[in-house]
């Protein structure tokens, strides 16, 4: 739930005390997951079971698809494994940030063989790198499906 909440930007919207704010509470998995559960509950209480079901299915569609395809886990790991299988260079990441300390936005690029294959943004370096890795996976997989059979 935490990665989904992070992708949605839930951490940026949550009201935190000074202690949690200074200790990076906006990116803590437990806080993000709890907040997303509260959002789901609010949808249920406001709009009913049918709307809540549609909301949850929409949130989980990509992770469910990844499970079905056997790609559960960190996209960075999958990218590393795929590049090794294809004898490509090891992925390297470049990360930058912008904004004030309490609301930083991180941007990442992943390069394979000197070519930028993916870009991503997030509320933490880890999330930005994961989004970039997922984008790179799509590029590589797309190229593989377009390659002529040997």
For residue 82, what is the domain's CATH number? 3.30.160.20
Please report, in tens digits, the pLDDT of each residue of the chain (150 residues total): 888 888 888 988 999 999 888 888 888 888 999 999 999 999 999 999 999 999 998 888 877 776 666 555 688 988 998 999 999 999 999 999 998 887 788 999 999 999 999 999 888 888 889 999 989 999 998 888 886 765
pLDDT at 149: 62
Under a CB-based contact definition with an 8 Å cutoff, are residues 61 and 53 in contact?
no
Q: pTM higher than 0.75 for the full model?
A: no
Q: Are residues 20 and 78 in the same domain?
A: no
Which of 72, 103, 133 marks a domain boundary? 72
For residue 25, what is the domain's CATH number? 1.10.1520.10
Neighbour-count burial for 48-77, b at 16+ CB within 10 Å, e otherwise? eeeebeebeeebeeeeeeeeeeebeeebbe
How many domains does one find in the chain? Answer: 2
78 vs 96: CA distance, rounded Å = 23
pLDDT at 122: 84
Tell me which residue range forms the domain holding 13: 1-72
Q: Are residues 147 and 78 in the same domain?
A: yes
Q: Are residues 68 and 85 in the same domain?
A: no
């Amino acid at each position: 739930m935490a990665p989904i909440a992070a992708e949605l930007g839930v951490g940026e919207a949550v009201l935190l005390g000074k202690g949690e704010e200074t200790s990076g509470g906006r990116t803590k998995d437990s806080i993000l997951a709890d907040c997303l559960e509260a959002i789901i509950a609010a949808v249920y209480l406001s709009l009913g079971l049918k709307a809540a079901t549609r909301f949850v299915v929409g949130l989980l569609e990509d992770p469910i698809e990844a499970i079905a395809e056997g790609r559960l886990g960190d996209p960075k790991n999958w990218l590393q494994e795929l590049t090794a299988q294809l004898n490509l260079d090891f992925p390297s990441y470049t990360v930058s940030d912008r904004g004030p300390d309490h609301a930083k936005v991180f941007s990442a690029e992943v390069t394979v063989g000197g070519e930028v294959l993916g870009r991503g943004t997030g509320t933490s370096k880890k999330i930005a790198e994961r989004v970039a890795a997922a984008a790179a996976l799509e590029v590589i997989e797309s190229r593989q499906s377009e390659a002529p059979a040997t």
